[in-house]
Amino acid sequence: MKELRTEIDIDASAERVWAALTDFASFPKWNPFIREIRGTPAVGSRLEVTIGASGTKPMTFRPTVKNVVPNRELRWLGRVGIPGLFDGEHIFELVRTGPNRTRFVQRETFSGLFVPFLAKSLDRDARRGFEEMNRALRARARG
């Protein structure tokens, strides 16, 4: 098992950050990491997600939404191939740190047989993608 975790403080309310995070249709305009999402952020729904950090070839997968708590958390579970090969649970958390201040935490827990072989690229590319998205979300939510 491997976990990546990044966070950023945003000078905006949790509601404003959540609105930007769940406005999937606008992702191609502002999000450099999650380039496109199709679907609805509802527990049990399947999304179609295209991701790729800068300088990498994007990949598309179909995760299942596991948890949605408006203004607090969005979580999905994605798999490559059959369960147990390479699974990733992606979590977006919003933590109110003031009246108009939110800490955005983006993390993912990876498990499966392929994780040891992909650990280096996860540390390099996925972490960079998380950080790129965090900065872009901060800019978008601040208006």
Could you give the C-alpha distances from 76 to 37, 107, 143, in angstroms and in order?
12, 11, 27
pLDDT attached to residue 143: 72
pLDDT attached to residue 94: 98
* Domains present along the chain, CATH in parentheses: 2-142 (3.30.530.20)
- Per-position DSSP letters for 37-98, written without gaps between them: EES---TT-B-EEEE--TTS--EEE--EEEEEETTTEEEEEEEESSTTTEEEEEEEEEEEEE
pLDDT attached to residue 122: 82
Cβ distance 49 to 37 under 8 Å?
Answer: yes
pLDDT attached to residue 66: 98
pLDDT attached to residue 41: 95
Give me the residues of the chain with pLDDT under 50, please: none
Give the chain's end-to-end CA distance (angstroms, integer).
Answer: 37
Q: pTM (2 decimals)?
A: 0.93
